[in-house]
Amino acid sequence: MVLDHLSTSWSVFQALFLEAMPFLLIGVALATTARHWLPTGPVLQCLPDHPLLGPLTGAAMGFALPACECGNVPVARQLVASGSPLPTAMGFLFAAPVLNPIVLASTWAAFPDQPWLLWARPAAGLAMALVVATLLRLQQDATILTPNLLRERSFHQPAGAGSLLERSAGLIGSRDPAALPLLSAGRGKSWRLSVLHGMDELVKLSGLLILGCAIAALLQTTLPRDWLLAVGQAPTLSVLALMVLAVVISVCSSVDAFLALGFASQVTPGALLAFLVLGPVIDVKSLGLYGTVFCRSAMVFVALACGVLALLAGQWTNFLVL
């Protein structure tokens, strides 16, 4: 019995990891390219810091880049580290998993007979990104970003470029803290440094992804789904049940619509929408990746905010449709 459970958990873990890893590779590759070519500081700071235009700009960038919740984190982190206004970077972080073309195409392929879902999902995802990005903008950077990311944002260089002593007080043995070589903007950047930092980031993010997939696999094979779907027709409980299911299953946003198709007839429309909106932004697998961007209190705030917004979107949909 125990061996069967472990075997099932191992199979689920492999499926989650193999599904997510290609998108993480794409995200790290895009972040490495951005680290080399993106101008830092003043140029990126020209992006809108407006509470509405900033997230909309980030959401538009998310539409252009096929990054799910595993691939958008390293790209958004690089935007923040390079000096981008937080509303733009946060808009990309939270909107890209729902608004990118791959996700929109998979939603259309899974639900061609439910046209309301084809516009409700991106609209709800965009609204969530706008609200969460605006709420984060009201807080100080030091209260939401990790110390390493704050340091990179301040000096516009990878924190992993030197040891802790080197990053804190300049090169060891140097009297001038400014002696630490910064990665300058433009063609003077070294591809070698960018690739090395990208490889270091890939190793760290892969470790977090493995941990997240392992936890998600254990939860997915331990928690019974029957009780989640048993309340599928209750207007409020169905939304809450599918939100829990989305967080636990941790399926990639590029294929979650096909998974939702399997139980779409058993749940309310609002529950279906909440599943498709919350899962790409908050799940067990992605929380570890968020740890490279947000401090612990900010992660809790983001998770609660996204959960409340997904619940409201589901409730409002049930009110209109049922």
Mean pLDDT of 32-39: 63
* 191-210 pLDDT tens trace: 676 677 678 777 877 887 78
Reported as a pLDDT band with limits 50, 70 and 90, residue 159 is very low
**Mean pLDDT of the chain, nearest integer:** 79
pLDDT at position 179 is: 37
pLDDT at position 29 is: 79
Query: What is the pTM (predicted TM-score) of this model?
Result: 0.74
Mean pLDDT of 46-60: 86
Reported as a pLDDT band with limits 50, 70 and 90, residue 186 is very low
pLDDT at 173 over 80: no
pLDDT at position 190 is: 65
| CA–CA gap between residue 151 and residue 81 (Å, rounded) | 8
Helices 86-99 & 115-137 angle (0-180, nearest 10): 160
31 CB-near residues (< 8 Å, 6+ apart): 74, 75, 77, 78, 198, 201
pLDDT at position 50 is: 84
* 63-101 pLDDT tens trace: 876 666 677 888 888 888 888 889 999 999 999 889 888
